[in-house]
């Protein structure tokens, strides 16, 4: 399984763009990358996912370089309600196994 | 429609007792996952079901842990002879088929287990 590494914590201010990078150096060909958000006492919630290059949806963008050894979640113009733990997940589509990182605690300040 | 549900939401048990945790996936989802999250920690993958079968059980932390899924729907995670280190939040997730790269895992609220 690909091991993932994320920063333990990040601070930001309302209105700023936040970029959280996840390292997955031994990612395999069949692995794809998903990011989840988790609030206290809740299960993780899907944010965005991709295999390579750039993916954008209504809440975030995901940048994956050509070597796929890392991925960066970009949250535009964060608000206080974006304070949460963000997890990078590498998943092998053939096996169903999922390796979550330890998560990045994002704190958005007024 | 209803999301993933788990029961009980909280469970307090004594060391050495057996516990059963239940997961009801989203209707029609054939893939089901169990994770464990210890206090302040990330998610630890336990087991994955494709239909009623579990292709890989290597994530289960010990032989005290077992899981089954019947009828391609409800799953039960059983912990025998619980230990204090089993205390954690046990999360269940489901996805449509488990084999497509674009699938999203939908998580339940978790069962908070405390072993005294």
Band (A63; pLDDT cuts 50, 70, 90): very high
How far apart are the C-alpha atoms of A53 and A30, rounded to whole Å? 15
How far apart are the C-alpha atoms of A60 and A45, rounded to whole Å? 13
CB contact under 8 A, A43 and B93: yes
CB contact under 8 A, A96 and B48: yes
How far apart are the C-alpha atoms of B4 and A45, rounded to whole Å? 12
Residue in chain B nearest A6 by alpha carbon: B42
How far apart are the C-alpha atoms of B5 and B26, rounded to whole Å? 8
CATH number, domain A9-109, options 2.130.10.10, 2.60.40.10, 3.40.50.980, 3.30.590.10: 2.60.40.10
Residues of B in CB contact (< 8 Å) with A are 4, 31, 33, 35, 41-45, 48, 50, 55-56, 59, 91, 93, 98-102, 104-110
Cβ distance A54 to A48 under 8 Å? no
CB contact under 8 A, B109 and A100: no
CA triple B79-A93-B69, angle to 5 deg:
30
Q: Which of A7, A24, A43 to mutate to test the interface with B (most CBs of B within 10 A)?
A: A43
pLDDT for res B17: 97
Contacts 24+ apart (CB under 8 A), B77-80: B77/B20, B77/B21, B77/B23, B77/B34, B77/B46, B77/B47, B78/B18, B78/B19, B78/B20, B78/B21, B79/B18, B79/B19, B79/B21, B79/B113, B80/B18
Interval B14-41: pLDDT, tens: 999 999 999 999 999 988 999 999 887 8
Of the candidates B43, B48, B105, the beta carbon closest to that of A97 is on B48
How far apart are the C-alpha atoms of B48 and B67, rounded to whole Å? 9
Statement: residue B1 has pLDDT above 60: no
CB contact under 8 A, A97 and B45: yes
Interval B66-89: pLDDT, tens: 999 988 899 999 999 999 999 999
How far apart are the C-alpha atoms of A36 and A103, rounded to whole Å? 9
Of the candidates B42, B98, B99, the beta carbon closest to that of A102 is on B42
Residue keyed to tokens 């993916």: A55
Interval A65-94: pLDDT, tens: 999 999 999 999 999 999 999 999 887 766
Statement: residue B100 has pLDDT above 90: no
CB contact under 8 A, A95 and B56: yes
**Domains of chain B, CATH where assigned:** 5-115 (2.60.40.10)
**Mean pLDDT of the residues in chain A:** 90
Of the candidates A42, A49, A87, the beta carbon closest to that of B42 is on A87
How far apart are the C-alpha atoms of B96 and B72, rounded to whole Å? 12
**Distance from the first to the final alpha carbon of chain A:** 39
SS3 (DSSP) at A81:
helix
């Amino acid at each position: 399984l690909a091991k993932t590494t994320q920063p333990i914590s990040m601070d930001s201010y309302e209105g700023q763009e936040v970029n959280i990078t996840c390292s997955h150096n031994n990612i395999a060909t069949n692995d794809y990358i998903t990011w989840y958000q988790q609030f206290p006492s809740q299960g993780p919630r899907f944010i965005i996912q991709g295999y390579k290059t750039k993916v954008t949806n209504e809440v975030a963008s995901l940048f994956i370089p050509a070597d796929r050894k890392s991925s960066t979640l970009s949250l535009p113009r964060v608000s206080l309600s974006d304070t949460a733990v963000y997890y990078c997940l590498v998943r092998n589509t053939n096996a169903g196994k999922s390796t979550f990182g330890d998560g990045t605690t994002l704190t958005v300040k007024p | 429609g209803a999301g993933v549900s788990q029961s009980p939401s909280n469970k307090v048990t004594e060391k050495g007792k057996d516990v059963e945790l239940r997961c009801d996936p989203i209707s029609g989802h054939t893939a089901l996952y169990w994770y464990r999250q210890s206090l302040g920690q990330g998610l630890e993958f336990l087991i994955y079901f494709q239909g009623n079968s579990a292709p890989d059980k290597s994530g289960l932390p010990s032989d005290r842990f077992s899981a089954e899924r019947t009828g391609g729907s409800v799953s039960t995670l059983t912990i025998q002879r619980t230990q204090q280190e089993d205390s954690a939040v046990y999360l269940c997730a489901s996805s449509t088929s488990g084999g497509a790269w674009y699938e999203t895992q939908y998580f339940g609220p978790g069962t908070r287990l405390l072993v005294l």
